Amino acid sequence: MEIANGFEASSIEKAIQFLAAGEVVAFPTETVYGLGADALNPYAVAKIFEAKNRPHFDPLIVHISEKDWVFRYAEHVPSSALKLVEIFWPGPLTVILQRKAIIPDIVTAGLPTVAMRMPSHVVALQLINAFRKPIAAPSANPFGYMSPTKAGHVARMLKGRIPMLLDGGDSVFGIESTIVSFQEGGVYIHRHGAISEEELSEHVEITADREQDALCRSPGELPYHYAPAKPLKIIHSMDEIKTDNSSFLAFRAPERPSISRHMKILSEAGDLKEAAANFFSSLIELDREDIDIIYAERVPEVGIGRAIMERLRKASKKRSLLHGR
Ligand code: TXA
Ligand code: MG
């Protein structure tokens, strides 16, 4: 795998050559690293699924570099979608819209909808701009594993599986985009992410009701996801830590030493944004230690804390599903 400095024009040039040849390229975004391919080339997109071992029923997000491109790929863009796009793009908001036929089935897993976002990371924008075509990209991790927030994570996770990686530094949000769809009753949040429910609700009505029609079906919303290889247990207090042969993912600086052999603190002062930025990288490091279990302290479920807890719950579910509990 060639690892290149994404801020250099020659690296973007090289990446575009790979994309044009139907290859995949890993690139930085402000949320997490993505694994991109030409969104309009089904053979190229198939290579994403191959490199990640991702099941084909899990649709991809189409990344664009100009707001106007939504009209190229989506039909009937509701006014609330336009409003959110005006406010939050470029940035970590993904909108689900009715798709146009030009988007290949493999991108949307056959759904009548397409998920789109315009990232704000300068390397991502330059890449898409220079390519002049949309780039389909999931997070650049093997399926079910945690999302990479550093170029080094991608290099380790997808070693030997992809030809090129653009290094654009650490992802500033550290957690994936917020995914929304537009329903009769308001905006429905499919995945909590880097833009909080509170921020969205300043501009649109949020609904908890999800219409059960084909438009909002989301086969990718699996009950387990984002999971470390080691079992993970969410705890309220350090008293629940039963073994020193463990890793402890603390939300804030603990009041007393933990018995866990390894510990990461998401934010000394308990700041949720800082915690989100450190979330995946801390969990990835703790998972690499030779331990039996990861204990994760719960975080307050407000703002971006909801996104953190959504990921922790899915990470903890994997084990119970595997063990049939
Ligand atoms: O921040 C992000 O969103 C990152 C960066 C790389 O942009 N991407 C990302 O992609 O997290 P991925 O594939 O790991 O997660 C995208 C999720 C999937 O779980 C999928 O189910 C959902 O988006 N999705 C994609 N298209 C959809 C659609 N048409 N309807 C419902 N859900 C969709
Ligand atoms: Mg992902």
Whether residue 277 is found in the same domain as residue 191: no
Question: How many C-beta atoms lie closer than 10 Å to residue 21's C-beta?
Answer: 11
180 Cβ contact list (under 8 Å, min separation 6): 84, 93, 94, 95, 96, 187, 188, 189, 190, 200
169, 190, 207 - which closes a domain? 207
Ligand 1 atom 32, closest CA: 218
Q: Quote the domain boundaries for residue 267.
A: 232-322
According to the model, what pLDDT value does residue 218 have? 54
Q: Which of 158, 139, 159 is nearest to 149 (CA)?
A: 139
166 part of a folded domain: yes
51 located within any domain: yes
139 lines ligand 1 (CB under 6 A): yes
- Please tell me the total number of residues recorded for the chain in this structure: 325
The answer on 266 and 140 residing in a single domain is no
171 pocket-lining for ligand 1 (C-beta < 6 Å)? no
- The helix (run of H) or strand (run of E) holding residue 156 is helix 151-157
pTM of the model: 0.92
Kindly state whether residue 188 falls inside one of the protein's structural domains.
yes
User: Distance between CA 144 and CA 52 in Å, rounded?
Assistant: 9
CATH of the domain at 24: 3.90.870.10
Give domain status of residue 11, yes or no: yes
User: 203 near 84, Cβ under 8 Å?
Assistant: yes
In a domain, residue 217? The reply is no
Domain membership flag for residue 222 = no
Contacts of 118 (CB under 8 A, 6+ apart): 63, 64, 65, 66, 67, 69, 85, 89, 90, 91, 125
Residues of the chain short of pLDDT 70, as ranges, are: 212-225, 318-325
Mutation choice for ligand 1 from 117, 128, 179, 182, CB with most ligand atoms inside 8 A? 179
Same domain, 252 and 124: no
Q: Kindly state whether residue 227 falls inside one of the protein's structural domains.
A: no
| 141 within ligand 1 shell (Cβ under 6 A) | no
Give per-residue pLDDT as tens, 141-174.
Answer: 999 899 999 999 999 999 999 999 999 999 999 9
| 242 alpha carbon – ligand 2 mean position (Å) | 31
pLDDT digits (tens, 9 = 90+) for 4-43: 999 999 999 999 999 999 999 999 999 999 999 999 999 9
Q: How many structural domains is the chain composed of?
A: 2
Residues 187 and 251 in one domain: no
